[in-house]
């Protein structure tokens, strides 16, 4: 594992501060990924703000909290209905040209929005919600495969919903002596070569389990049965 994904909205600010506290000075080869464009006026509210001036302030704040001079992957956290995506990505391109961003990514976008963004700046990745049960972004994943863009599924195990009942995921987990969460992550990695799951974790034991999912090998019949499972 050499990429840590976060956002200024997580906390807000807290996640970036904790990452720097725990890992700075960063190990060689570690890639930093964060996002801007969503604000948190309260714990339960997520409000888009993708105005260029806000994004520039958000990036500078992330750089300071993460103790970095440049973000390896800076992602537009969402699309603001009040701001054309061309303006938002244009601001990121300006900051990339200034040396503050290495690569630009998008989050919570559709195919048309990706196309529009790519006319403004090179885009290397897309981060949308995607898991065994929720494949609403299947067309975006197919687009990323075709265009060789990284696809970072957030909520990659869907919070565990739909994995506890008797189904092919549960059956495979029992057969291999692993958790349903490991099977869910292994399925994502098997699903596409551009897939980069970003599961969260709250303990070292869970982290080790999730890393081990990368080595889980199952039969083609098991993969097909799981692939056919969706809400």
Residues marked active site are found at 10
Q: From residue 99, give the alpha-carbon distance in Å to each of 28, 183, 215.
A: 19, 40, 37
Would you state the structure tokens that stand for residue 11, as one six-digit string? Answer: 């906390």
The Cα 34–Cα 5 span in angstroms is: 6
**Which SS3 state, helix, strand or coil, does residue 9 take?**
coil
Task: Look at the block and give the residue holding tokens 């709250």.
Answer: 202
| Closest CA relative to residue 174, chosen from 165, 230, 128 | 165
- Alpha helices by DSSP H, listed for the chain, are 14-23, 52-66, 85-97, 111-118, 138-147, 168-176, 180-191, 204-212, 220-227
């Amino acid at each position: 594992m050499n990429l840590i994904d976060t956002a200024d909205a997580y906390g807000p600010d807290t996640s970036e501060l904790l990452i720097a506290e725990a890992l700075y000075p960063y190990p060689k080869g570690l890639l930093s990924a964060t996002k801007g464009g969503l604000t948190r006026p309260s714990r339960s509210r997520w409000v888009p703000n993708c105005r260029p001036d806000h994004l520039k302030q958000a990036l500078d704040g992330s750089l300071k909290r993460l103790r970095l001079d440049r973000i390896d992957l800076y992602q537009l956290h969402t699309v603001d209905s009040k701001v054309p995506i061309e303006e938002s990505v244009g601001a990121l391109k300006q900051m990339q040209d200034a040396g503050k961003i290495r690569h630009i990514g998008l989050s919570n976008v559709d195919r048309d929005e990706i196309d529009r963004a790519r006319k403004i700046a090179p885009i290397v990745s897309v981060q949308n919600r995607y898991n065994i049960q929720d494949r609403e972004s299947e067309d975006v994943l197919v687009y990323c495969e075709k265009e060789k863009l990284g696809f970072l599924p957030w909520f990659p195990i869907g919070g565990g919903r739909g994995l506890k009942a008797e189904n092919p995921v549960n059956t495979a987990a029992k057969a291999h002596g692993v958790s349903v969460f490991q099977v869910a992550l292994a399925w994502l990695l098997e699903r596409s070569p551009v897939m980069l799951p970003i599961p969260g974790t709250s303990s070292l034991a869970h982290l080790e389990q999730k890393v081990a999912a990368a080595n889980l090998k199952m039969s083609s019949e098991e993969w097909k049965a799981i692939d056919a499972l969706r809400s």
